[in-house]
A and B are shown apart, each in its own frame.
Chain A
Amino acid sequence: MSEGKQPVSRRQFLNYTLTGVGGFMAAGLMVSPLRMAIDPVLQESSAAGDFTNVKLAVEDITDEPQRVDWEIEQVDGWYESKVGKSAWVYKDENGDIVALSPICKHLGCVVSWEGSDDHPDKFYCPCHDGLYYKDGMNVPGTPPTAGLDIYEHKVENGMLFLGKAQPREEA
């Protein structure tokens, strides 16, 4: 949906394909938020406080979670690559913006809002039927043992900017 709107230059796409192997490795590193949190090298490279405009106007955010996708440059030591990121974004009952990481806290598959017809009003992980409530907390009795990470966010000129996804405080 939203990626269709994003203009992608030829160069960007070439980078996307040509840096395939590097992106591959980087993508793997991104999967572990824990590693991000404890590894100062990685932390430095993604410069805490780096926010990306995810091309979503705040007025277009509803109480229904929608998926946004964007790309960030990532430097791992000497290697620079582009990494695709995603978030589920909505406004909670107080009107506050919530941006959740789609990475399942069990083994890292990508969860979807209402991804299973059997589980309305939940985030669903297709890999081992993991479930999360709308606020991102894991449903007890399903494989995940923690809630989805939460993105830092800020609003500038009516546009949503997302920063780093942070694990929740120990539940």
Chain B
Amino acid sequence: MKWIKKDLQQFIQAKEYVDTAVVPLLPFQLSNDAKLDKDAFQSEALTVFLRELEKELTGRVMLIPEYHYVKTADKEAELDRIRNWMNDIQAQPFHHVFFITSDSSWKKHEQALPGTMIWLPITSDESADPGRMQSIIREHVQQVSELIRSYWKDSKT
């Protein structure tokens, strides 16, 4: 489910089935010319990925609006803001929270994130071949939904 009227109307009715929140962490910057296209591509690719992932697991997953931040920003300060988001999000009974990002600098702060971090190493090198890019994204979707499902399974037993 997404944060749109139609899905939220359904969410209100079927809350007990939607126990997982996915929070995208998307960096942006406009200050480093050399990396602009790379960074933007990564963000585009992650957006496509999220759209596909949400489709796959829509009945149990709430896709939270994208959390944008300046790429070079101090992560401690961002973490404070993320915790604020989470305080609000956790008003709903989500048992599983996943942070999805392709920004590897979160790796160092993984422990501090109030949920499970999934790092998706998407590079722009493949973009030369869009067909290949599509199948790479599809593969990522399969793998990440596997992973999310494994958390669901563990919580059942």
Contacts and interface: CB of A to CB of B under 8 A. Distances in A.
Contact of A127 (B6, B48, B51, B59): B59
A24 B17 contact: no
Contacts of A62: none
Contacts of B44: 17-18, 20
Contacts of A13: 130-131, 133-134
Contact of A107 (B17, B47, B56): B17
A8 interface: yes
A33 B57 CA distance: 17
B58 interface: yes
A132 to B, nearest CB: 14
A37 to B, nearest CB: 15
Given A24-B2, A110-B55, A126-B145, A6 B131 contact: yes
Contacts of A110: 55-57
A98 to B, nearest CB: 22
A7 interface: yes
B13 to A, nearest CB: 10
Q: Tell me the dominant secondary structure on chain B's binding face.
A: helix
B137 to A, nearest CB: 9
B51 A109 contact: no
Contacts of B6: 28-29, 32, 35
Contacts of A27: 51, 55
B130 A10 contact: yes
Contacts of A165: none
B122 to A, nearest CB: 12
Nearest to B152: A126
A24 B2 CA distance: 9
A6 B135 CA distance: 10
Contacts of A128: 17, 59-60
Nearest to A21: B47
A108 B58 CA distance: 6
Nearest to B58: A108
Interface string B1-24: 010101100100010011000000
B25 interface: no
A106 interface: yes
Interface of A: 3-4, 6-10, 12-14, 16-18, 20, 23-25, 27-29, 31-32, 35, 84, 104, 106-110, 125-128, 143
28 contacts: A3-B134, A3-B138, A9-B130, A13-B133, A16-B130, A17-B44, A20-B48, A23-B51, A24-B51, A28-B6, A28-B7, A84-B55, A104-B59, A107-B14, A107-B17, A107-B18, A107-B58, A107-B59, A108-B59, A109-B56, A109-B58, A109-B60, A110-B55, A126-B57, A126-B145, A127-B57, A127-B59, A128-B59
Interface of B: 2, 4, 6-7, 10, 14, 17-18, 44-45, 47-48, 51-52, 55-60, 130-131, 133-135, 138, 145, 149, 152
Given A9-B130, A32-B6, A109-B56, 5 more contacts: A16-B130, A35-B6, A107-B60, A108-B59, A125-B59
